[in-house]
Structure 1
């Protein structure tokens, strides 16, 4: 049954349950209309755990329209060790997709997290879903309690005002420091962020300095257009805040496949905002996420250029060399993708532009994007200037329209 209806402007969030809305043979139960701009609601459905607590299922069920989904559970400190798979029904054709695997989404140090969950997955406009969960054969622990499927409809786009875009600006800094032009950035109003769902004031890095840029991918899907990127952002934002209980979207900045740069966590793009993207290292870094998955797909040149120029600008604000290294203090025990482990308080050496996998045991930002980090560093270095009081011409942003 439908329950817990919430209204806002971020999008529509629905959480699926097994008890109702099984698909009709005639398709009469299949709603076709997505949410309009300015509406949001959340609805819950449970994913039923098997008696041995080693599996769980939500059988094929019709739903209200959605475009993004994720699976969440009660305890944010618990990681689901196993496989979470989903398939969805396209709203326009009624055809069911292949099974797709959801990766685990960690709290990444967001102190307000209320639930654990997978990464969100963009699936396009859909009106049905099915879930199957299996615990790992190598792990004896039971599945987390409170498993549920979260379905997000980010709503339709409304025209963004011109003031919602921060145009490119020349490099600024004290004479003799390394700096770079600020790229054009679409502010939160430009992608339709619903500020009412994250009323908490922003926090800032305790040291007041960004020492490194951590590159991510959102690991969801590449089946969206650049015109749909604002909707993807609203979906991620709603999932992080309304479903996982984070105070705001986890990333400082996001970049779409056409190279458009978006403001992520609020607090001011020109300030050292504390976000939740790199567990143990949030207090010293800024996080840049590229929309999509780059495990096998290669990022576009526009993506590489925009990530590089954004990183050059943010690091340049603090005189940090984008091709250099820096020492970060571990805020928690950890192990990275390469099986290097450390304890709380350890002093660790990182490239000033590095991938999420360098500081955490994750595939992020995907093999293909990770392989391009040397290119991003070189491009960032070519964007920097020695500040002498003269203002260089700002570089254009691919796909920005500026």
Structure 2
């Protein structure tokens, strides 16, 4: 592309500078591409992207960077089409753009953005220096509980937002409405993506890459947060994405029009021509198995989202005309579904699930907080009831005013313990028995009262 790229009408040239040390402070810079040739000096950066106003069609973007005094070859930038919030969501999109590209420690950039009409007006090159944190070289710690036929597939080890260095103040960048996470009703499906980035990154670079993607999605694209719910690197490590609680159905911005009732897993790299490593595929399967099993969804089923019938495990290209998640990864989706099914033991058999079946899911509503461990047992929060289980108590649920009061107490609290009956009517109201007390609803004052003690 060398000769062709030199003839593109909109070019930015950044002079080479002495690289900053790895502890360089984070920085974010946008440089206008508003002339046939623009020259600018810049401090070192680790990620580059190109953005332009909404609605501009047919953009072709190219970039090359300078590292260690040498210019790389020109590289086409992947257009970030059909990522982002749902059209019905209040979360906005301020600009269209490319996928961000990790370049390591670059000191110069040349970039172009053109379409059939020529140079794209108001195009900008985004240069992000995520800096380096002492925690970048740390590995996720903790233990993973063993899976069994009576427990959902366990949550895999995960690098938390705090561990990868998310600046939570950034969520307020696009307004106060972005600070609080948004939740969807349940989890019905998983969408698999690739970030269309480099495949030769190192282990210690990944947290910085995630921080840079976070900054690009918020500052350059106008989203509330990082678009993906989870990310997986080529070494098989899982990273928590969008804020709001990994166990909850956080509304992401990964598959426009299909974010509701789904979650997005992005593998870090470009897998159009390169096959994803086995460790990456295995960890992706484990994340999906954990989320689907907790919400009682089969990876071999189909569901309807936004009027389209899709597999519960789908690639981004199943929803729109996009190359994501890359041909080589997309070709592995069949294996991925079968692997998820194997990890989930092919069926649901937990006491909470069997109890829910007896009550009827139409009465319970959809799982909101999928089956998870509590301090004293297990729980699933459905649309209308919360169901709790331990070996000592068996499965029982709270609903209505009892559920509201129990949640305020701290559901599963050591003081009251788990429910050992469901609520039942008595003269003057209703009551529900717990391991160490009662919740009593009085019809006269229409309040739920707390009474400690085994008898009442």
TM-score scaled by length of structure 2? 0.67
Cα drift, residue 248 of structure 1: 0.3
The alignment partner of 2:246 has SS state of coil
Match of 2:324 among 356, 364, 370: 364
Q: Is the 8 A contact 1:73 1:115 kept in 2?
A: yes
Matched residue count: 330
Match of 2:17 among 16, 21, 30: 30
**CA distance, structure 2, for counterparts of residue 292 and residue 162 of structure 1:** 21
Aligned in 2, Cα 1:79/1:383: closer, same or farther, shift over 3 Å?
farther
Unaligned runs of 5+ in 1: 1-16, 24-28, 51-56, 331-346, 391-402
Matches within 5 A, 1:33-72: 33-34=20-21, 36=23, 39-50=25-36, 58=38, 61-72=40-51
Match of 1:99 among 71, 74, 78: 74
Aligned twin of 2:393: none
Q: Is the 8 A contact 1:116 1:244 kept in 2?
A: yes
Aligned twin of 1:114: 94
**CA distance, structure 1, for counterparts of residue 66 and residue 253 of structure 2:** 32
Match of 2:126 among 141, 147, 150: 150
Q: Deviations over 1:101-131 (max 9, x none)?
A: 1111245226232222111011111000111
Q: Please give the root-mean-square deviation of Cα atoms over the aligned residues, in Å.
A: 2.7
Cα drift, residue 162 of structure 1: 8.4
The alignment partner of 2:134 has SS state of coil
Cα drift, residue 234 of structure 1: 0.8
Q: Is the 8 A contact 1:164 1:188 kept in 2?
A: no
Cα drift, residue 74 of structure 1: 3.1
The alignment partner of 1:133 has SS state of strand
Residue 152 of structure 2 corresponds to residue 179 of structure 1:
yes
Cα drift, residue 203 of structure 1: 0.5
**CA distance, structure 2, for counterparts of residue 108 and residue 167 of structure 1:** 34
Aligned twin of 2:112: 132
**CA distance, structure 2, for counterparts of residue 46 and residue 35 of structure 1:** 27
Which of structures 1 and 2 has the larger relative contact order (alpha carbons within 8 angstroms, sep 6+)? Answer: 1
Q: Deviations over 1:278-324 (max 9, x none)?
A: 01100121000000000001001111111111101111111100122
**CA distance, structure 1, for counterparts of residue 294 and residue 315 of structure 2:** 20
Aligned in 2, Cα 1:147/1:168: closer, same or farther, shift over 3 Å?
same
**CA distance, structure 1, for counterparts of residue 139 and residue 199 of structure 2:** 29
**CA distance, structure 1, for counterparts of residue 289 and residue 233 of structure 2:** 18
**CA distance, structure 2, for counterparts of residue 229 and residue 22 of structure 1:** 25
Aligned twin of 2:261: 284
Matches within 5 A, 1:1-400: 23=15, 30-34=17-21, 36=23, 39-50=25-36, 58=38, 61-75=40-54, 78-90=55-67, 93-106=68-81, 108-109=84-85, 111-136=91-116, 144-159=120-135, 167-171=143-147, 179-199=152-172, 200-205=179-184, 208-328=185-305, 330=306, 347-385=307-345, 386-388=348-350
Cα drift, residue 73 of structure 1: 1.9
**CA distance, structure 2, for counterparts of residue 184 and residue 387 of structure 1:** 24
Q: Deviations over 1:153-184 (max 9, x none)?
A: 110122279897564345599x6xx9322111
Q: Is the 8 A contact 2:113 2:120 kept in 1?
A: no
**CA distance, structure 1, for counterparts of residue 119 and residue 142 of structure 2:** 45
Q: Is the 8 A contact 2:136 2:205 kept in 1?
A: no
Aligned in 2, Cα 1:255/1:222: closer, same or farther, shift over 3 Å?
same
Aligned in 2, Cα 1:170/1:49: closer, same or farther, shift over 3 Å?
farther
Cα drift, residue 352 of structure 1: 0.7
Aligned in 2, Cα 1:96/1:154: closer, same or farther, shift over 3 Å?
same
**CA distance, structure 2, for counterparts of residue 367 and residue 18 of structure 1:** 31
Q: Is the 8 A contact 1:181 1:383 kept in 2?
A: no
TM-score scaled by length of structure 1? 0.76
Aligned twin of 1:400: none
**CA distance, structure 1, for counterparts of residue 120 and residue 145 of structure 2:** 48
The alignment partner of 2:19 has SS state of coil
The alignment partner of 1:186 has SS state of coil
